[in-house]
Structure 1
């Protein structure tokens, strides 16, 4: 079953169960998908990689919002954002552990024949494509920087 079909089915189930948080989160996901499909210059259907990118962006927004709400001493709003983040996370593939990420990046560094920090741009380009949806960009960047500086 395609991811968009799964989201639609889960939305129906949430509506029947009167699960407001899940319903609102899934409607938000559908809205983002619709906006991506109707964006200028886009034609055709969204592939799974594009959907993962949308979901990753939404997850990051929820986590950032929750952190801001915590700083502003608004725990009820932070809890709501974190609940939405959990729902969004359920549609993303399992994130790589730090060890798995490092192993994958070492392989990419070998493929890129990187010699040191000067090759960071080349490695990041390959890593971003290969690890899209599996790890956050910031996490990839920090690990690449650490690995290349130790060469």
Structure 2
């Protein structure tokens, strides 16, 4: 087997293993570069570098769920920054971070409504037989596993508390 064939097989194996979300990010990075959209290019590069850093640190290829967790973390950081910039009267940075948020959110699945979250949490409470706040950990663990990044943890927590206290 020639060296070229071996390289092609290795490259194909890497592409087969790569997550759909990571492929989409790489594709969008190339598109942003072609369109000379420096703002989107920089945001996607930042996310890609965060992904690469974790892959190197943990010595593993990240799944879509792992990448979604990175995106959620980036979104939380931007939201915190926006709050601080508003306090400081830096509307230019508020606008910049809001544009970054828009790009980051485009890679996450559509968020669930509170009614959908409430339905799932009540199903989990029924399945686990949770009876009070002492079972909060059980309910939250199952809910986070089922809902994932489609709802914020604080929303799930508030609904779980409400349902467990009623």
TM-score by length of 1: 0.93
Name the larger-Rg structure.
Answer: 2
Large movers: runs of 4+ above 6 Å: none
Q: Distance in 1 between matches of 2:127 and 2:67?
A: 27
Aligned length, in residue pairs: 148
Tell me what 2:26 maps to.
8
Unpaired segments ≥5 residues, structure 2: 1-18
Which one of the candidate residues 38, 42, 47 is aligned to 2:56? 38
Q: Distance in 1 between matches of 2:85 and 2:64?
A: 31
Which one of the candidate residues 63, 75, 78 is aligned to 2:79? 63
Q: Distance in 1 between matches of 2:127 and 2:69?
A: 24
Which one of the candidate residues 21, 24, 41 is aligned to 2:42? 24
Looking at secondary structure, tell me which structure has more helix per residue. Answer: 2
- Write the deviation string for residues 72-122 of structure 1: whole angstroms up to 9, x where unpaired: 111110111111111010000001011111111111111211011121111
1:133 is paired with a residue whose SS is helix
Q: Distance in 1 between matches of 2:60 and 2:84?
A: 37
Q: CA RMSD in A?
A: 1.2
TM-score by length of 2: 0.85
Tell me what 1:135 maps to.
151
Match status 1:94 vs 2:106: no
